[in-house]
Amino acid sequence: MEDNIFDKIHEVDLQKTMEKSYIDYAMSVIASRALPDVRDGLKPVQRRVLYSMIELNNGPDKPHRKCARIVGDTMGKYHPHGDSSIYDSLVVMAQEFKKGQVLVDGHGNFGSIEGDGAAAMRYTEARLTKFTQEVCLADLDKNVIDFGPNFDETEKEPLVLPMRVPNLLINGAEGIAVGMATSIPTHNLCEVVDAVKAYMKNDKITTKQLMKYIKGPDFPTGGIVVNKDDLPEIYETGTGKIKIRGKVEVEDMKGGKKRLVITEIPYTMIGAGIGKFLNDVCSLVETKKTSDIVDISNQSSKEGIRIVLELKKQTDVDNLLALLYKKTRLEDTFGVNMLAIVDGRPETLGIKDIIKHHINFQYELATRKYTTLLEKEKANREIKEGLIRACDIIDLIIEILRGSANLKMAKDCLVNGNVEGIKFKSEQSKKQAAGLDFTEKQAGAILEMRLYKLIGLEILNLQKEYDECVKKIE
């Protein structure tokens, strides 16, 4: 008799199922997609792109590689999502007007400050910058960080990069997760490094004292922070609003006329914001809210921003500027929410917290690096000691090798003094061989040693290398 189909139906609580599924999804987006890690200041996609580039041997001393190749490698090995999201991350890391320190050296059309998109990935090329090579990826071979399996467990990928500066502060971050978002302004590299040094000298330092070094955000587009008095609270709590104004210079023209020249813009104006600003100024003239502007032109170039407003004679410049600040994006607000992943959980951090986590990370990196180097040098010393000792009794070792039937027998004799089955020229040699006690590593090195190593100068070099090794260990 067939099973009743109703016996296979399981009743589930829809609310609990939806809650669990949505929480799993939300945590995945928060921890593995949208928010940067406090240690290296990178989102997973950025970390994977940079690691793919180092795997491709795409360093600053190598030729640029097609971005399509980099994106393909990243997607196939580490980031199983759309190629456009990977390429967008690559592009942003190469745009000088978005990052305090660009991590990728782009070759070709990587977009413009006015919102023009980058060329398709099949046309553009990229490689790592020297900064990235030395600051983000140094010591990867010294077991300083943990690696985990990729999405299909066929490759290993770094869980964090060994970043040597607080990248979270230097390059900032933007990301929208589920129910939370991060928005961290960029800062000056030298100021941040000075603040790190100050914290290392005195870990009881206050946020206000740290601000002697980090005076405020340093946006790649420039601009002037209007509400400087709010910065201490913003940097203490990790949240707040920064008001930024464009930098405006007044230039005299012929016939007593003047013009306003905007040379720096608010960071929030990048992209379509510049076009919107020009339209807003035209709208002010058309709706007769001002009659002081005669002409407006965007003379920006690769050298920098230059937006020119030509004015009528006897224009009240201060009044006009006040109007522009109020009615256009020449003054704008940058919302700060310094949210990052700390030990797998999202946390809102002040600048002191970010620097503290950075220094703890550096301590961990240095500890792991020098532990690895120490173990390596100890192993090297062990082998050198074995080779020096072998050179002193080389005739006996040759006798053991010639008298052994196979490699295993010879190695057993060197390590354990087992002389069974080995033919010796004399009983004295056999007795000497029975007293040998080289380690496994030493025996392996002796058996692989080349004959030219027995030349007098080579033996002296071996002794010199051993002495250097001992000094390194100390």
Q: Please identify which of the residues 22, 51, 87, 123 carries the catalytic annotation.
A: 123
Tokens of 272: 């379509």
| Partner residues linked to 148 by β-bridges | 157
Contact between 355 and 209 (Cβ < 8 Å):
no
Stretches where the chain sits below pLDDT 50 are: 1
- pLDDT tens digits, residue range 100-143? 899 999 999 999 998 899 999 999 999 999 999 999 998 998 99
C-alpha 203: how far from chain center: 25
Tokens of 67: 């971005």
Give residue 345's pLDDT: 92
Give residue 8's pLDDT: 76
- pLDDT tens digits, residue range 1-37? 456 666 778 888 889 889 888 888 888 888 888 999 9
Between CA 363 and CA 343 the distance in angstroms is: 16
Give residue 301's pLDDT: 85
Between CA 326 and CA 332 the distance in angstroms is: 9
Tokens of 472: 């390194």
Element (H, E) at 195: helix 189-201
Contact between 125 and 104 (Cβ < 8 Å):
no
Give how far Cα 278 sits from Cα of 92, 264, 275, 289, 297, Å.
25, 15, 5, 15, 8
Contact between 388 and 466 (Cβ < 8 Å):
yes
The answer to whether 123 is a known catalytic residue is: yes
- pLDDT tens digits, residue range 340-366? 999 999 999 999 999 999 999 999 999
Between CA 361 and CA 9 the distance in angstroms is: 51
CB contact set of 72 (below 8 Å; sequence gap of 6+) = 83
